[in-house]
């Protein structure tokens, strides 16, 4: 009799176990069949965050529009440097451009010293190529086309040396002067009728990478000259000499008056604000190929 009772108990437990297992299976099936609600969509960002500020940067053989560090050094498409220069020249005022506090401070300091532009000195025969390609470095200009060289050959030999900050040859930079009325222009006054002074916007500082900009407190070919990088050091320039009427009565004035801003590897043509000429005839000729040409003999010596 006892074994019959045990058999009945075991049978009952088996039935209960099967029922529980079946119920759990049905619950799982119902759960799987029930459509799940999609996760809530992320909230839309404010409209202001959808506008990405673009800082044009010139680097060697490419010009990149760099909105973030992830695309620095890469070309957005297959446009040439000249195509990018043309596009940026046409669209420069149509996009918001980021101006760093360092640039704003440097521009404010330069303006306070009376500097509203930098300057590049060249022969009239070089102007067409410059308007087409920008102001190339000495090295690149010689590779790209035949140039009329107005520089002092002995000084140019010393510019084959490397500058002390980034180790590049000085010839790998496009040279600009802080003050165009300097010993170089004075030496060339016999060529006044063929000379052009290109006025360069201070925005070139904003649009040049930190490793592509250096400047000096005198002629870059001189062993006594100090070099600076970044935009915080313009106060170190010899402003007493640079802004004086003449340099002869200043200590080391001839060297200091030729303080330079050096841009690697070129100054884009969009930064050329105006062309200044000693000769009225030359101004009229160049006026046919460039919109802002000024007859300005007073900036030259002998004018």
Tell me how crowded residue 70 is: count the other CB atoms within 10 A of its CB.
Answer: 8
| Residue 171 confidence (pLDDT) above 90 | yes
On whether the CB atoms of residues 117 and 202 are closer than 8 A, the answer is yes
Minimum mean pLDDT range among 65-79, 132-146, 147-161, 234-248: 65-79
Q: pLDDT (tens digit, 9 = 90+) per residue, 260-297?
A: 999 999 999 999 999 999 999 999 999 999 999 999 99
State the average pLDDT over residues 44-64: 32
State the average pLDDT over residues 249-260: 98
Task: Say if pTM beats, i.e. exceeds, 0.75.
Answer: no
Residue bearing the bigger pLDDT, 28 or 277: 277
158 labelled as ligand-binding? no
121 labelled as ligand-binding? yes
Minimum mean pLDDT range among 40-49, 99-108, 125-134, 174-183: 40-49
| Residue 250 confidence (pLDDT) above 90 | yes
Query: Which two three-digit tokens encode residue 93?
Result: 């005022």
List, by residue number, the catalytic residues.
159, 260
| Residue 31 confidence (pLDDT) above 90 | no
Name the β-bridge partners of 216: 227
Query: Which two three-digit tokens encode residue 266?
Result: 């070129």
Query: Which two three-digit tokens encode residue 201?
Result: 């916007």
159 labelled as ligand-binding? yes
pLDDT score at 217: 98
pLDDT score at 88: 54
State how far the alpha carbon of 173 is from the alpha carbons of 141, 170, 189, in Å. 11, 6, 25
Determine the length of the chain.
303
State the average pLDDT over residues 22-34: 44
What residues contact residue 189 under an 8 Å CB cut-off, 6+ apart? 300, 301, 302
Q: What is the mean pLDDT of the chain?
A: 79
| Residue 257 confidence (pLDDT) above 90 | yes
Q: pLDDT (tens digit, 9 = 90+) per residue, 219-235?
A: 999 999 999 999 999 99
| Residue 190 confidence (pLDDT) above 70 | yes
Query: Which two three-digit tokens encode residue 211?
Result: 């490793």
Beta-strand pair 272-277/293-295: parallel
Minimum mean pLDDT range among 59-63, 141-145, 197-201, 218-222: 59-63
Cα 70 versus chain centre, distance: 17
Provide the pLDDT confidence category of residue 82 given band limits of 50, 70 and 90.
Answer: low
For the chain, counts of helices (H) and of strands (E): 11, 12
| Residue 166 confidence (pLDDT) above 60 | yes
Provide the pLDDT confidence category of residue 78 given band limits of 50, 70 and 90.
Answer: low
| Residue 21 confidence (pLDDT) above 70 | no
Q: pLDDT (tens digit, 9 = 90+) per residue, 115-142?
A: 999 999 999 999 999 999 999 999 999 8
State the average pLDDT over residues 187-206: 98
Query: 199: closest CA among 123, 273, 281?
Result: 273
Share of the chain above pLDDT 90, in %: 64
Provide the pLDDT confidence category of residue 155 given band limits of 50, 70 and 90.
Answer: confident
State the average pLDDT over residues 82-99: 58
């Amino acid at each position: 009799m006892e074994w019959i009772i045990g058999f009945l108990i075991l049978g009952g437990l088996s039935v209960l176990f099967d029922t529980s297992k079946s119920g759990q299976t049905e619950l799982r099936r119902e759960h799987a069949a029930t459509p799940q609600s999609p996760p809530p969509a992320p909230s839309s960002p404010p409209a202001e965050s959808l506008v990405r500020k673009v800082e044009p940067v010139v680097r060697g053989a490419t010009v990149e529009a760099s909105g973030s560090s992830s695309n620095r050094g890469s070309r957005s498409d297959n446009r040439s440097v000249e195509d990018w220069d043309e596009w940026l020249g046409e669209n420069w005022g149509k996009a918001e451009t980021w101006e760093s506090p360092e640039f704003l401070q440097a521009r404010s300091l330069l303006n306070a010293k009376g500097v509203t532009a930098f300057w590049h000195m060249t022969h009239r025969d070089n102007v067409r190529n410059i308007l087409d390609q920008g102001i190339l470095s000495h090295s690149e200009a010689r590779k790209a086309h035949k140039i009329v060289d107005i520089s002092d050959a002995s000084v140019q030999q010393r510019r084959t040396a490397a500058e002390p900050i980034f180790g590049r040859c000085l010839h790998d930079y496009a040279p600009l002067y802080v003050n165009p009325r300097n010993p170089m222009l004075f030496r060339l006054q016999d060529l006044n009728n063929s000379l052009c002074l290109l006025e360069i916007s201070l925005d070139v500082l904003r649009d040049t990478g930190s490793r592509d900009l250096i400047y000096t407190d005198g002629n870059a070919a001189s062993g006594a000259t100090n070099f600076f990088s970044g935009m915080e050091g313009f106060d170190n320039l010899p402003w007493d000499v640079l802004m004086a009427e003449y340099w002869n009565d200043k200590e080391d004035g001839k060297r200091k008056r030729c303080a330079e801003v050096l841009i690697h590897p070129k100054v884009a043509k969009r930064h050329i604000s105006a062309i200044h000429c000693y000769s009225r005839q030359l101004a009229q000729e160049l006026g046919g190929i460039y919109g802002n040409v000024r007859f300005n003999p007073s900036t030259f010596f002998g004018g």
